[in-house]
Structure 1
Amino acid sequence: MFEEIFSPVQKIAFTPFSNLYVKRDDLIDPYISGNKWRKLKYILAKAKAKNKTHLVTFGGAYSNHLVATAAAASRSGLKSTAFVRGEEVKNEMLLLCHLFGMKLIFTDRESYRKKYQLFDIHFKNDDQAYFIDEGGASVEATFGCAEIIRELTETYEHIFCAAGTGTTAAGLLSGIQKQGLNTKLHIIPVLKGASFIQTEIAKYTTLSGHLKLHLDYHFGGYAKTTPELISFIKNFTAKTGVLLDPVYTAKMFYAIHDLTKQGIIGKEEKVLAIHTGGLMGLFGMMDKF
């Protein structure tokens, strides 16, 4: 199912950029989109190598990762179960999970924090169950994300990516180092107070001067927005035809825009933005638009 796929790089015309390019991983698949496809590629390979037939993972009620895991399991002939953080709800994302055959276990927030304990309680007698952390965080996920760099046919002064767990960032940094590039990797954490992401990245790869974290573009925290961010999304999409989600990619593109306006990123420098997909996250924010 995870055959070689090379997502296109598209040049975007949007003031004040002269050389803004986008790696369109959002076009890889409608349900296993962007970095979710990248992360699950080697996770599923490892699960199959261990003869596991039941994927068990974790996420919130609007988690793109849950939809991606459910779709990947269904296409691969595997069972899937998800622990969903919070009270029982119904929404578009969970409907897709249900249609793809995923079993949903709604879990209070305190219990949800103890993921390995939850897994052991529910699946200690299921030797076919395979633990997948929230968001797919794992060393296998970094292998898939590192391939983004290998696919590039041009070099860029700057590469930007949004971050939640730091797994995609670690893969990108590893790829840059392996290719011997001089590219600066700019990471835009979408959580408030996310300096810990540097520590998370260091779990998977050696830190280097290639890496730069920008901690001030979270817009209040994870899945938080402001009228300014929503206005930016509307303007960007109307002028470029590229959809952004408010949780991840919009914050990244806003950061690129702001850093360029400030002169921190030169208007003539080649910038590559990694579009990590996640567009179904728009469903959870319909009232913001």
Structure 2
Amino acid sequence: MDFYSPLTPLKYKDFPTIWVKRDDLIDPFISGNKWRKLKYLIDDARRLQKSHLVTFGGAYSNHLLASAAAAARFGFKITGFVRGEQVENDSIFLSRLFGMQHIFVSREDYKNKLALYNKYFQNSEDTYFIDEGGAGTLAVKGCSEILAELPHPFDHIFCAAGTGTTAAGLLNYIHSHAWSSKLHVVPVLKDQGSTRLSISEYVKDTSKLVMEVDYHFGGYAKVTDDLIQFIQDFTSSTGLLLDHVYTAKVFYAIYDKFKRGVLSTESNVLAIHTGGIMGLLGAKSNFPLNLKKQS
């Protein structure tokens, strides 16, 4: 169950070359940090001799799709609680093909995931609870291994954060190996305080944590014309596909900080590409049909 991702240089326009940890290449569907989070959860489910995974997410959730693909790959049944009204979209379709059974629940009921789990599966001996996004200590452990694959430390490491699990794993590794690296976390939630709080649940020392709070573009899955234009231009210029929810906001932050002189051109910068490209399918209407590159 060991998967690794390449480390590749990236040149965009006249900006300095940065390095990208291509976790998006781990697997077409169990992609990026989703595999990192699921790895030890699946190990734990096997250890406990559970055969049925139960997890949670929104209708376009990368986590639900990745979990469904992982369940099929490793021989589990899987059920996904989906937040909100019943819909049909590409992510729901693909996760169903991988064998996921969906239970759509109201946004209010979704807030108490443990109550939902107990309502449907309290008397089941073969089910295994996986929180939204795979969040938890086992997921933090898996995410810390991203940096273990690097040949050397970097001055600045950038990643996106929703639940904060990936960031917590990275920060734990930085501290446990006495790296001088700064971890720049780009919260995709407008309420960045909740992301910092989530990270601090797993990490005692946050002295090397830099919260980049100005790049949420309105909040989770929100976009602006500026961000859409950046995705179009960056992707067509580099061949590296970004999603609008997570990775585009990370790369935008990096180049904005270079542009404003906050990052030195001599800095050794690493971006963690956490995958999630399937989420773009839910944002197609935001992209104009006549795509033009920035001059």
TM-score clears 0.5:
yes
The match for 1:163 is 161
* 1:224 partnered with 2:222: yes
Greater shift after overlay, 261-270 or 163-172? Answer: 261-270
Q: Which residue of 1 aligns with 2:292?
A: none
TM-score (norm 1): 0.98
1:145 aligns with 2:143: yes
What residue in structure 1 maps to residue 98 of structure 2?
A: 100
Q: Report the TM-score when normalising by structure 2.
A: 0.96
Unaligned runs of 5+ in 2: 288-295
Report the counterpart of residue 238 of structure 1 in structure 2.
236
Report the equivalent of 1:263. Answer: 261
Q: Deviations over 1:17-65 (max 9, x none)?
A: 3131100000000000000000000011111111111100000000010
* Residue matched to 2:274: 276
Shift of residue 259 of structure 1? 1.1
- For residues 282 and 197 of structure 2, what CA distance do their matches in structure 1 show? 30
Name the residue aligned to 2:290.
none
Do the aligned partners of residues 16 and 178 (structure 1) sit closer, same or farther apart at CA in structure 2, a change above 3 Å counting? farther
Q: Percent identity?
A: 55
User: Helix, strand or coil: the match of 1:206?
Assistant: coil
Letter in structure 2 aligned against 1:119:
Y
* C-alpha distance in 1 between matches for 2:202 and 2:191: 21
Alignment of 1:1-289 (within 5 A): 2=1, 4-289=2-287
Deviations 1:141-173 (A, max 9, x none): 011110011110022110000000000000000
The number of residue pairs the alignment matches comes to 287
Alpha-carbon distance between aligned partners in 1 of 2:195 and 2:27, rounded to the nearest angstrom: 27
Q: Post-superposition, which runs of at least 4 consecutive aligned residues in structure 1 deviate over 6 A?
A: none
- Contact kept in structure 2, 1:193 and 1:215, CA below 8 Å: no
- Tell me, which stretches of 5 or more residues in structure 1 are unaligned? none
Structure 2 contact 200–206 (Cα < 8 Å) conserved: no
Q: Distance in 2 between matches of 1:115 and 1:156?
A: 38
Q: Do the aligned residues in 2 keep the contact of 1:188 with 1:213 (CA within 8 Å)?
A: yes
Q: CA RMSD in A?
A: 0.9
Further displaced range: 255-264 or 110-119: 255-264
Distance (whole Å) between structure 2 residues aligned to residue 172 and residue 16 of structure 1:
29
Following TM superposition, by how much is the alpha carbon of 1:16 offset from its aligned partner in structure 2, in angstroms? Answer: 4.4
**One-letter amino acid of the counterpart of residue 173, structure 1:** L
The Cα shift of 1:244 comes to 0.0
Of 171-180 and 182-191, deviating more is: 171-180
Distance 2:4 2:71 in 1: 22
> In the aligned structure 1, how far is the partner of 2:141 from the partner of 2:12?
32
Per-residue deviation at 1:79?
0.5
